[in-house]
């Protein structure tokens, strides 16, 4: 039987090879670039991505997958979903950016994480009916066609996913809203058809969530409404997990083709083996990863494709990326003389994915042989047997500290002699321009290590003095040596690589450069002990040791796939454990292990969450299980939505946790009451994300509310996160207010 493969790509990175989008956005916001130039330059960035895909010979290139800020915000504004508070702004582009970033008069729309990725979208606030204001997919198609001569497939986030992510409507009304939304999509697609467009894609990652029978029925009904009188071929793309309600959806969804993710795990292929795939629909097989940076294994993928041809009995299958490519850096090109030459052999970024698709097409279409790939040989070089063995030998059932919290509490009270309502901060102090300048100079070797260390030491000294002057009880060293909380540790640990230019969009103009965990992780030398002991030598007060936890380090990195996430987390945990023990040996009495991103790796499917939480809690406990009862372990978490994981937070068994409470308007406080949290806790008493200086009154309000539900003997007073993004002008008065409040509270509570 003849086999034909065609290639398709969607969600190619929007930021540009050298973060051009970031640069032009920031220049526009600051007023340096005018509107016309801005629009022209961003169009160029988009066109460059389309031309690139053309050059790589992709058969089906997508349009409308570029955005000035966020593609969900594009949809909201396209439907006229603009909250009241922005309706005073007359200009469309100004409204758009005000929704994204806030304006003088209106707070920005909520932004939150997109599925289980590190991309953030602007949450649609639906508070009434909405209507079609403009047809962006059509515009985007026409501009590619007219200006570049490229015939694209317009893509659009589907109605089901859009509504699932929106807020402001009653969830009981989901079904009726979905049908209304569907009719708008029907209109959009009809207009595409009327303009001669042959195919269109809706992206429905929400189809992989745990869908009920009812939800599956209603989404099928919605799509029936959309495609009822259409002659354009509609393809529905799913990703990030296996399709939920597989049998029902692949058979009954009235569309031309369905895209499935075959990289994330083997569930989709298993479903096809079990239930088949309808002859009447075209399959789009997502076979090159949009989420991780490891080269595609051509041998394995070819045999997967052969199996798919056999199972479906189809003559033509489209192959594509398994999920949008914007989770990947743009190109390996900049890393070629920078990263380890062996490691380079293992990597593929977005551009390399385009190439892989073409190679796969040629292999399956019989035009070339499978190229040799020697992954195993290379990976052998990155192994460290000792680290590997230590992680697999962890006795999971007995991880944890010997003494109970109650016993530890008494001993720590005696050792630390802290007052009622101890005050502290989360770790970092303002990263001034001067600090950043010195760090950059050191990185570029334009100052000596000695000079740099001297500078950092002096900063530590200043911040210790400042904290004493303000009157805080537990001090920190200020984290001046770090530009971010993962990179610093990754650079000190083995098994991590850092790229030169491998940026990935996090939201809007903000990009991150995740480290790559490619080998076994271990700690060749001490990481923080010098800085912390130096800080401690300057004061009679207790200085906290400050580390980033294993789960956060893992979740903010690209990680290897040849061993489980749990195993990697255990390796990192054991490396951190060495550091914790060294800090204790050096006389440090409080050690904070931050788990800011603890929740981020949570699997989308409910059935998998328990396992994730289980090994995450164990990894955290592993870092500090051997310290003496007198040593106080702290942790810090931020980025909200803790409610569903409170039990796991409790199970982490840290002596003190600091957590954000000021922005969630007390919701989190109520939750703590429900679970009777009985370990030390600092519910951040003010929001460090805002430049506003909190008044004493505001702080008192939060504290009073908190100690209604939390034992005051356990209550700590601190801001809700690190202070590195703030200035000293904001930080000093805010902390003074915090300390003043504490003094008053102590007076009235003793
Ligand atoms: N200790 C870190 C800091 O203060 C924590 C940062 C975070 O939670 N994101 O900066
Ligand atoms: Zn934080």
Give the burial string for 448-485 (b: 16+ CB within 10 Å, else e).
Answer: eeeebeebbbebbbebbebbeebebbbbbbbbbbbebb
Is 174's pLDDT higher than 80? yes
Q: CB 698: neighbour CB atoms within 10 A? A: 17
Q: Of all helices (H) and strands (E), which one includes residue 606?
A: helix 606-624
Is 548's pLDDT higher than 90? yes
CA–CA dist 716, 734 (Å, integer): 16
Tokens read off for 269: 């292929």
The ligand 1 atom nearest the CA atom of 427 = 4
pLDDT for position 459? 98
pLDDT for position 639? 67
Where residue 414 falls among pLDDT bands split at 50, 70, 90?
A: very high
What is the Cβ-side half-sphere exposure of residue 98, based on CA atoms within 13 angstroms?
19
- In terms of Cβ atoms closer than 10 Å to its own Cβ (0-12, 13-18, 19+), residue 105 is exposed
pLDDT for position 664? 59
First and final CA of the chain: distance in angstroms?
A: 86
CB of 476 sitting under 6 A from ligand 1 = no
pLDDT for position 662? 60
Q: CB 323: neighbour CB atoms within 10 A? A: 29
Q: Which has the closest alpha carbon to 329: 72, 23, 482, 118?
A: 118
Please compute the mean of the pLDDT values over residues 445-461 and round it to a whole number. 97
Contact in structure between 685 and 699 (CB atoms under 8 Å): yes
Is 665's pLDDT higher than 60? no
58-63-66-67 Cα dihedral, nearest 10 degrees: -170
Name residue, tokens 């593609």: 71
- pTM value is 0.95
Is 663's pLDDT higher than 90? no
Q: Which has the closest alpha carbon to 66: 52, 87, 56?
A: 52
484 Cα: distance to centroid of ligand 1 (angstroms): 9
Contact in structure between 5 and 365 (CB atoms under 8 Å): yes
Provide the mean pLDDT of the chain: 95
CB of 576 sitting under 6 A from ligand 1 = no
Nearest CA to ligand 1 atom 9: 596
Nearest CA to ligand 1 atom 5: 722
pLDDT for position 661? 67
| 3-class SS of residue 707 | helix
Which ligand minimizes its atom distance to the CA of 688?
2
Catalytic residue among 120, 636, 676, 689: 689
689 is catalytic: yes
Nearest CA to ligand 1 atom 10: 722
Tokens read off for 463: 């911040």
Is 749's pLDDT higher than 90? no
Largest CA distance in the chain: 86
542 Cα: distance to centroid of ligand 1 (angstroms): 19
711 Cα: distance to centroid of ligand 1 (angstroms): 25
Strand partners, 634: 592, 656
Give the burial string for 585-615 (b: 16+ CB within 10 Å, else e).
Answer: eeebbbbbbbbbbbbbbbbbbeeeeeebbeb
SS3 labels along 473-487: CEECCECCCCCCCCH
pLDDT for position 107? 84
| 3-class SS of residue 511 | strand
Contact in structure between 252 and 219 (CB atoms under 8 Å): no
Residue 701 CA from chain centroid, whole number? 32
- DSSP letters along 152-188, please? -EEEEE-HHHHHHH-BSS-GGGHHHHHHHHHHHHHHH
Where residue 666 falls among pLDDT bands split at 50, 70, 90?
A: low
Query: Domains in the chain, ordered, with CATH?
Result: 4-380 (3.20.20.210), 409-748 (3.20.20.210)
- DSSP letters along 28-94, please? HHTTSS-HHHHHHHHHHHHHHHHHHHHHTT-SEEEES---SS-HHHHHHHHTT---GGGTT---HHH
Strand partners, 316: 4
CB of 688 sitting under 6 A from ligand 1 = no
580 Cα: distance to centroid of ligand 2 (angstroms): 20
| 3-class SS of residue 637 | strand
CB of 724 sitting under 6 A from ligand 1 = yes
Cβ within 8 Å of residue 267, ≥6 positions away: 241, 242
273 Cα: distance to centroid of ligand 2 (angstroms): 45
Q: Which has the closest alpha carbon to 26: 13, 14, 42?
A: 42
Q: Which has the closest alpha carbon to 638: 658, 620, 656?
A: 658
From 479, 488, 506, 594, mutation site for ligand 1 pocket: most ligand atoms within 8 A of C-beta: 594
CB of 637 sitting under 6 A from ligand 1 = no
**Adjacency order of strands within the sheet including 680-683:** 474-475, 542-548, 590-594, 632-637, 656-659, 680-683
Q: What is the pLDDT of residues 519-540, one digit of tens each?
A: 999 999 999 999 999 999 999 9
pLDDT for position 641? 73
Provide the 8-state DSSP code for 296. Answer: P
Tokens read off for 27: 């220049």
From 484, 552, 599, 636, mutation site for ligand 1 pocket: most ligand atoms within 8 A of C-beta: 636
Please compute the mean of the pLDDT values over residues 569-590 and round it to a whole number. 98
Q: What is the pLDDT of residues 114-125, one digit of tens each?
A: 999 999 999 999
Nearest CA to ligand 1 atom 3: 722
Backbone phi and psi for residue 305, each to the nearest 5 degrees, phi listed first: -65, -40
Strands (E), 245-303: 257-261, 282-288
Contact in structure between 351 and 333 (CB atoms under 8 Å): yes
Q: What is the pLDDT of residues 686-698, one digit of tens each?
A: 988 788 899 999 9
Q: Which has the closest alpha carbon to 686: 657, 729, 709, 718?
A: 718
- DSSP letters along 514-565, please? --EEEEEEE-SS-SSHHHHHHHHHT-SSEEEEEEE-HHHHHHTSEE-SSS-H
Where residue 282 falls among pLDDT bands split at 50, 70, 90?
A: very high
Q: What is the pLDDT of residues 72-108, one digit of tens each?
A: 999 999 999 999 999 899 999 999 999 999 888 888 8
428 Cα: distance to centroid of ligand 1 (angstroms): 6
Rg of the chain over Cα atoms, rounded to whole angstroms, equals 27
Nearest CA to ligand 1 atom 4: 722
Where residue 133 falls among pLDDT bands split at 50, 70, 90?
A: very high
Is 337's pLDDT higher than 70? yes
CB of 593 sitting under 6 A from ligand 1 = no
Contact in structure between 737 and 693 (CB atoms under 8 Å): yes
Contact in structure between 209 and 604 (CB atoms under 8 Å): yes
pLDDT for position 748? 82
Where residue 677 falls among pLDDT bands split at 50, 70, 90?
A: confident
pLDDT for position 152? 98
Q: What is the pLDDT of residues 224-266, one digit of tens each?
A: 999 999 999 999 999 999 999 999 999 999 999 999 999 999 9
67 Cα: distance to centroid of ligand 1 (angstroms): 30
Tokens read off for 676: 């009777």
CB of 428 sitting under 6 A from ligand 1 = yes
Nearest CA to ligand 1 atom 1: 427
Please compute the mean of the pLDDT values over residues 661-666 and round it to a whole number. 61
Is 314's pLDDT higher than 90? yes
Strand partners, 237: 203, 259
Provide the 8-state DSSP code for 321. Answer: E
CB of 636 sitting under 6 A from ligand 1 = yes
CA–CA dist 360, 165 (Å, integer): 35
Where residue 288 falls among pLDDT bands split at 50, 70, 90?
A: very high
Nearest CA to ligand 1 atom 6: 722
CA–CA dist 630, 732 (Å, integer): 31
| 3-class SS of residue 250 | helix
From 596, 635, 687, 719, mutation site for ligand 1 pocket: most ligand atoms within 8 A of C-beta: 596
CA–CA dist 331, 499 (Å, integer): 11
CA–CA dist 407, 18 (Å, integer): 55
The ligand 1 atom nearest the CA atom of 721 = 8
Q: What is the pLDDT of residues 146-158, one digit of tens each?
A: 999 999 999 999 9
Range of weakest confidence among 195-209, 681-695, 733-747:
681-695
Residue 337 CA from chain centroid, whole number? 28
Tokens read off for 77: 């504004």
pLDDT for position 523? 98
CB of 486 sitting under 6 A from ligand 1 = no
């Amino acid at each position: 039987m003849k086999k034909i493969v065609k290639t398709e790509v969607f969600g190619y990175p929007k930021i540009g090879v050298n973060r051009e989008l970031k640069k032009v956005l920031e220049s526009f916001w600051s007023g340096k670039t005018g509107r016309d130039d801005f629009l022209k330059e961003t169009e160029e960035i988009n066109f460059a991505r389309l031309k690139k895909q053309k050059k790589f010979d992709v058969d089906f290139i997508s349009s409308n997958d570029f955005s000035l800020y966020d593609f969900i915000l594009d949809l909201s504004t396209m439907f006229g979903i603009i909250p009241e508070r922005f309706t005073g702004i007359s200009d469309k582009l100004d409204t758009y950016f005000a929704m994204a970033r806030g304006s003088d008069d209106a707070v920005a729309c909520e932004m939150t994480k997109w599925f289980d990725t590190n991309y953030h979208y602007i949450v649609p606030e639906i508070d009434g009916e909405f209507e079609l204001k403009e047809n962006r997919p059509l515009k985007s198609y026409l501009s590619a066609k007219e200006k570049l001569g490229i015939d694209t497939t317009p893509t659009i986030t589907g109605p089901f996913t859009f509504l699932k992510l929106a807020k402001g409507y009653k969830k009981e009304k989901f079904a009726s809203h979905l049908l209304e939304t569907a009719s708008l999509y029907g209109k959009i697609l009809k207009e595409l058809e009327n303009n001669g467009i042959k195919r269109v894609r809706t992206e429905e990652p929400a189809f992989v969530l745990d869908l009920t029978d009812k939800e599956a029925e209603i989404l099928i009904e919605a799509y029936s409404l959309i495609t009822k009188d259409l002659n354009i071929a509609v393809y529905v793309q799913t990703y990030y997990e296996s399709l939920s309600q597989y049998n029902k959806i692949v058979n009954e969804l009235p569309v031309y083709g369905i895209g499935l993710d075959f990289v994330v795990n083997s569930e989709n292929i298993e479903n096809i083996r079990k239930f088949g795939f309808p002859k009447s629909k075209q399959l789009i097989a997502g076979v090159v990863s949009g989420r991780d940076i490891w080269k595609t294994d051509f041998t394995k993928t070819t045999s997967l494709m052969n199996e798919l041809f056999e199972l479906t009995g189809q003559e033509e299958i489209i192959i594509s990326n398994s999920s949008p490519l914007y989770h990947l850096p743009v190109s390996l090109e900049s890393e070629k003389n920078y990263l380890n030459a062996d490691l380079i052999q293992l990597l593929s970024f977005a551009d390399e994915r385009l190439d892989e698709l073409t190679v796969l097409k040629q292999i399956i279409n019989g035009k070339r042989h499978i190229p040799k790939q020697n992954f195993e040989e290379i990976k052998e070089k990155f192994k460290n047997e000792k680290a590997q063995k230590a992680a697999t030998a962890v006795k999971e059932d007995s991880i944890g500290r010997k003494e109970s919290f109650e016993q530890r509490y008494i001993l720590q009270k005696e050792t630390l002699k802290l007052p009622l309502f101890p005050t502290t901060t989360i770790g970092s102090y303002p990263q001034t321009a001067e600090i950043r300048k010195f760090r950059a100079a050191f990185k570029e070797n334009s100052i000596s290590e000695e000079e740099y260390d001297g500078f950092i030491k002096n900063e530590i000294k200043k911040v210790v003095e400042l904290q004493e002057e303000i009157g805080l009880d537990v001090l920190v060293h200020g984290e001046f040596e770090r530009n971010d909380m993962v990179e610093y540790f990754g650079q000190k640990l083995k098994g991590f690589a850092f790229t030169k230019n491998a940026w990935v969009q996090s939201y809007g103009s903000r990009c991150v450069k995740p480290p790559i965990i490619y080998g076994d992780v271990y700690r060749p030398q001490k990481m923080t002990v010098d800085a912390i002991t130096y800080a401690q030598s300057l004061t009679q007060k207790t200085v906290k040791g400050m580390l980033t936890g294993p789960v956060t380090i893992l979740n903010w990195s690209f990680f290897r796939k040849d061993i489980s996430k749990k195993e990697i987390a255990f390796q990192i945990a054991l490396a951190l454990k060495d550091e914790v023990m060294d800090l204790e040996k050096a006389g440090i009495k409080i050690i904070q292990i931050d788990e800011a991103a603890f929740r981020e790796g949570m699997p989308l499917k409910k059935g998998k969450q328990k396992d994730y939480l289980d090994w995450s809690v164990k990894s955290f406990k592993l870092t500090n299980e051997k310290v003496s009862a007198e040593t106080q372990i702290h942790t810090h978490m931020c980025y909200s939505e803790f409610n569903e994981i409170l039990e796991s937070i409790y199970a982490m068994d840290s002596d003190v946790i600091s957590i954000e409470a000021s922005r969630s308007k007390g919701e989190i406080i109520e939750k703590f009451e429900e679970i009777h949290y009985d370990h030390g806790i600092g519910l951040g008493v003010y929001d460090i994300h805002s430049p506003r200086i909190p008044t004493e009154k505001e702080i008192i309000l939060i504290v009073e509310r908190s100690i209604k539900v939390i034992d005051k003997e356990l209550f700590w007073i601190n801001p809700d996160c690190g202070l590195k993004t703030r200035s000293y002008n904001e930080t000093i008065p805010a902390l003074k207010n915090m300390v003043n409040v504490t003094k008053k509270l102590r007076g009235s509570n003793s």
